[in-house]
Amino acid sequence: MSGPAYWGIAGYPIAHSLTPRLFTIVGEKLGIDAQCIFVEADSMSEFEANIEQLDGDLWLSCTAPLKHSPQARLGVDGPEGVNAINQLKRKDGVWSGTSTDGVGFVAACRHIGIEPNGSTLRMRGGGSAARAIAAAWAAEGGRIIPSEGRRALLSGPWDEAIVESGNATLAIDLDAAAGGGDSIQLEAEQQVSISYGDDWRIDEFAVIMVAAQHLEAWKHLYAPEKAANLPILSLLLEKLSSFN
């Protein structure tokens, strides 16, 4: 298949992002090439201005603060309850998108030996990543203990998975700042973070998750017809280590 003219990352801050490297690795495996780009934008208006001169198809992973705006401005719907996207695709001038935060989190958990079904996740935060993770975790049979953060976890398709207390298998502070920000310690058997910095390692959960959600983006949005040919997560991480 032919690839897009451009692929990369959009949002702010994004200088630390591994996404362009992941596009290159997966593209090489599938025989697809494109120009890697960093679209720095702290608003949807700035995003649209920065891509105005980019002709052709475009694949972008989106981070804050662009996860909500594309729905109204580009006519892209996020998953039910999540109401946000983190992956965008422009093909022949038409935009589509999805959220892979949740399914990427679940895949990363399985990679480190944690099965959501029957497990309890203590989660701080209520933003787009929190809602995506809650939806995916609940869909896989997991329980969730919300912990107070900057924003509450609102009602959604995860409601039946919510429990008020109990022993948590896993914890995550989704209010930790991007780029390797510190997490508040939460009570659980194990705590992970989805924030990585410049000194990242491939055994960090945050790096495992960003690689996992990138594979999910190829599978569900960018090139679903190539899903069977995608590298497995462990191989993608191994290839990524050569960039560090």
Higher pLDDT: 92 or 73? It is: 92
What pLDDT score was predicted for residue 74?
A: 87
What pLDDT score was predicted for residue 83?
A: 84
CB of 196 closer than 8 Å to CB of 206? yes
- The answer to whether residue 198 sits within a structural domain is no
Q: 172 and 141 share a domain?
A: yes
CA-to-CA separations, 145 to 114, 173, 207, 222, in angstroms, rounded: 17, 12, 24, 33
Q: 67 and 106 share a domain?
A: no
What pLDDT score was predicted for residue 239?
A: 95
pLDDT above 90 for 98: yes
Show which residues are catalytic.
67
CB of 240 closer than 8 Å to CB of 215? no
Average pLDDT for 108-126: 97
What pLDDT score was predicted for residue 82?
A: 87
- The answer to whether residue 132 sits within a structural domain is yes
Q: How confident is the model at residue 15 (pLDDT cuts 50, 70, 90)?
A: confident
What pLDDT score was predicted for residue 69?
A: 65
CB of 135 closer than 8 Å to CB of 105? no
Q: 123 and 188 share a domain?
A: yes
**Percentage helix, strand, coil for the chain under 3-state DSSP, each rounded to 5:** 35, 20, 45
Q: How confident is the model at residue 187 (pLDDT cuts 50, 70, 90)?
A: very high
Q: 121 and 178 share a domain?
A: yes
pLDDT in tens, 32-84: 999 999 999 999 899 999 999 999 999 999 988 888 767 678 888 878 888 88
- Show the domain range for 16: 6-100+213-241
Q: 70 and 156 share a domain?
A: no
Q: 64 and 109 share a domain?
A: no
- The answer to whether residue 146 sits within a structural domain is yes
What pLDDT score was predicted for residue 180?
A: 59
- The answer to whether residue 145 sits within a structural domain is yes
Please give the span between the terminal C-alpha atoms of the chain, in angstroms, as a whole number.
Answer: 29
